[in-house]
Amino acid sequence: VDNSAVWLLQGWMFVKNIFWTDELIKAFLLAAPLGKMLVLDLQSEQFPQYERTFSFHGQPFIWCMLHNFGGTLGMHGSVDIVNTQIRLARDMVNTSMVGVGITAEGINQNYAIYELALERGWLKNDLDLYNWFKIFFLIFFVLITLMLIYYSCIFWYNDRIFWYNWFQNFIMKFI
């Protein structure tokens, strides 16, 4: 047994499960010394367990946004909850929150909600969501435009300048 090991626990095992009474949850969490268990409070934006468990009875936890299941696509998200609940979890009495994470089960879609959650983890105060989204989409579309220009230049140079077929034909005339 590694005495420096830390147990990693998915906290949603306590969600809507009649087996896990408050007393059993406390006994389970405190069976490991404080700091020897890290709890991922999966889907904190919808079913936070840190409130029910009194910040997991002192075990460190990460506030996680699940957002979708199995790559469910769509431009949706709990932006108000993400914006305020991360701060409330961090500021609650005797909090043991040590970070913010995303537990995306599908990626490359809905960049805004993931960016919001991860950025929100670094900030103390709530964001002005209107201005945040305005800046996010301005930057997002500027980057897409720059990428399109960049790749267009690569293809143009590749097709017209860096192919020496014309040069080879020119040399062959004099050999």
Say yes or no to pLDDT of 169 above 70.
no
Collapsed DSSP state (helix, strand, coil) of residue 62: strand
Give residue-wise pLDDT tens across range 36-64. 999 999 989 999 999 999 999 999 999 99
Sheet of 37-41, strand order = 7-10, 37-41, 61-65, 97-102
Please provide the DSSP assignment of 121-152 as one string. Answer: TT-SSPP-HHHHHHHHHHHHHHHHHHHHHHHH
Alpha-carbon distances of 21 from 48, 131, 158, rounded to whole Å: 16, 43, 66
Say yes or no to pLDDT of 34 above 60.
yes
**pTM, entire model:** 0.79
Confidence of residue 170 (pLDDT cuts 50, 70, 90): low
Collapsed DSSP state (helix, strand, coil) of residue 65: strand
Say yes or no to pLDDT of 145 above 80.
yes
Q: What is the separation, in whole angstroms, between the first and last Cα of the chain?
A: 77
38, containing H or E segment: strand 37-41
Whole-angstrom Cα distance, residue 84 to residue 148? 36
- pLDDT mean across residues, the chain: 86
Give residue-wise pLDDT tens across range 5-18. 999 999 989 998 88
Confidence of residue 85 (pLDDT cuts 50, 70, 90): very high
pLDDT of 164 reads 57
- Dig out the tokens for 35 from the structure: 């700091």
Alpha-carbon distances of 130 from 56, 80, 99, 111, 126, rounded to whole Å: 33, 11, 25, 16, 12
Instruction: Give which of 23, 16, 9, 127 is closest to 62, Cα–Cα.
Output: 9
Whole-angstrom Cα distance, residue 80 to residue 61? 21
pLDDT of 134 reads 93
Query: Which ranges of 5-110 would DSSP assign to H, the alpha helix?
Result: 22-30, 79-91
Whole-angstrom Cα distance, residue 57 to residue 52? 10
Of residues 82 and 159, more confidence is placed in 82
Confidence of residue 116 (pLDDT cuts 50, 70, 90): very high
